[in-house]
Structure 1
Amino acid sequence: MPQVIGAILPLAIGVAISPIPIIAAILMLLSPRARSTGVGFLLGWLVGVIVAVTVFTLLAAVLPENDPDASKPIAGTIQLILGILLLLLAVRQWRSRPKHGEEPALPKWMSAIDSMTTGRGLLLGFVLAAVNPKNLLLAASAGIVIGSAGLSVGSEILAIAVFTVIAVISVAAPVIAYLVAADRMRGPLDALRGWLVHNNATVMAVLLLVIGVSVIGKGIGSF
């Protein structure tokens, strides 16, 4: 169990350090419907993370290797593929960095956040957590680790819970802080949004590179 937790921690941090969802959450907290859309987005993000990692945990659980001391070529091959895909995403993020003095381009859907309802905020949170390619690959990697470790059902649930708590904390923190002290948080949240907008590509490229190499290493170690 400790080995599994140690293996999924970097993956959960990779999901947590996702500038675009954090920017989206902050924009919602600065919008006219801040409380309702912010909470809706957080709930969608939470459910999306749980669904994604649980699905891949269940899929990995059907793999034939159950002996923790035996080699796991199927799980290892899947991890190698996921690691390579993460490296490709890292290259893509690095190449998308804005040039010096250039304003970074944000997704067009962010312009509609001011008019977003609670339901749409919830749906957006779910999509960014469970369907976004980067988060999907990280959730899949975590699910492979958990599902192929031969844990009991209770231990698997605990591992998924640990992964989820860490993965959602970056979105939960600004939402909870805003709900507690809205007036005092507007300035810091706007400053954080600006920094994330200008450093999104660089942060994600470095993060994906490190995690991709780690996943590939775990895949090689499974043979």
Structure 2
Amino acid sequence: MVQAIVQVVPFGVGLAVAAAPMVVLALLLATSRPPRVGVAFAAGWVLGIVLAASVVVLVADLVPGGPPRTVTSVVRVLAGAALCWLAVRSWRSRATKGTPRWMAGVGEWTAGRALAVGLGLGALNPKNLVLVVAAAGAVVESTDRPAEQAAAVLVLGLLGGLGVGAPVVVRAVGGPAADRALASAGAWMTAHATALTAVVLLVIGVLLLVSGVTELV
């Protein structure tokens, strides 16, 4: 179990940091809506990551004898290439202004709406999917025991939700007095989120590429 958890830690941290644009949304929810709305979004985000990773692990487990090592190496190469491409795309769009359509009306979101958006973004966001697939491959390689796989997937989800969940915790602990700190954090994240995401994706992408190519050679 320990080995499987260790394998997913870098991907979980990557999910947490690469989710910088989602942290901006979490900050907006924390300062503009009741606490339960922010909690619902964070819960949906974590649940989305866990569900996506669980599906990939279950599909991989259906392969008799597990996926061949060559297949997992190719997956790493493809995931690394995809992350590098997403990093370049994010970097080029760092100066783009405007609010994404899925953030529209955030000041009026209900807990149900926040949960649904968090779930969808956590499970279907392209950056998440690439990292989740790579992490799930590492889990399947590490262990074939369902309980250990489930524990590793849960750790992946919790780590991936650190950034999105932080504003919720700060607001819960600090109450309205924390609004100024959250507003400052929101302004900084809005200015730097895209560039930060690009750098993190590039680093993880290069590491996956090198790892996959090394295993194939």
TM-score w.r.t. length of structure 1: 0.88
Contact 2:47 2:157 survives alignment (8 Å): no
Counterpart of 1:134 in structure 2 is 127
Work out the CA distance in 1 between the residues paired with 2:14 and 2:121: 14
Work out the CA distance in 2 between the residues paired with 1:170 and 1:53: 19
Work out the CA distance in 2 between the residues paired with 1:66 and 1:125: 31
User: 5+ residue gaps in structure 1?
Assistant: none
Counterpart of 1:219 in structure 2 is 212
Letter matched to residue 88 of structure 1: W
Letter matched to residue 16 of structure 1: A
Contact 1:61 1:148 survives alignment (8 Å): no
Work out the CA distance in 2 between the residues paired with 1:8 and 1:220: 20
Work out the CA distance in 1 between the residues paired with 2:59 and 2:214: 21
Give the secondary-structure state (helix, strand or coil) at the position aligned to 2:165: helix
RMSD after superposition: 1.9
**In the alignment, structure 1 residue 81 sits paired with structure 2 residue 78:** yes
Counterpart of 1:208 in structure 2 is 201
Task: Within 5 Å, give how 1:52-63 maps onto structure 2.
Answer: 52-63=52-63
Contact 2:84 2:206 survives alignment (8 Å): yes
Give the secondary-structure state (helix, strand or coil) at the position aligned to 2:105: helix
Counterpart of 1:29 in structure 2 is 30
Distance 1:130 1:54, change over 3 A: same
Work out the CA distance in 2 between the residues paired with 1:171 and 1:20: 9
Greater helix percent: which structure? 2
1:161 deviates by: 2.0
User: 5+ residue gaps in structure 2?
Assistant: none
Counterpart of 2:160 in structure 1 is 167
Identical amino acids, percent of aligned pairs: 31
TM-score w.r.t. length of structure 2: 0.91
**In the alignment, structure 1 residue 92 sits paired with structure 2 residue 81:** no
1:3 deviates by: 4.1
Letter matched to residue 36 of structure 1: R
1:7 deviates by: 2.9
Letter matched to residue 14 of structure 1: G
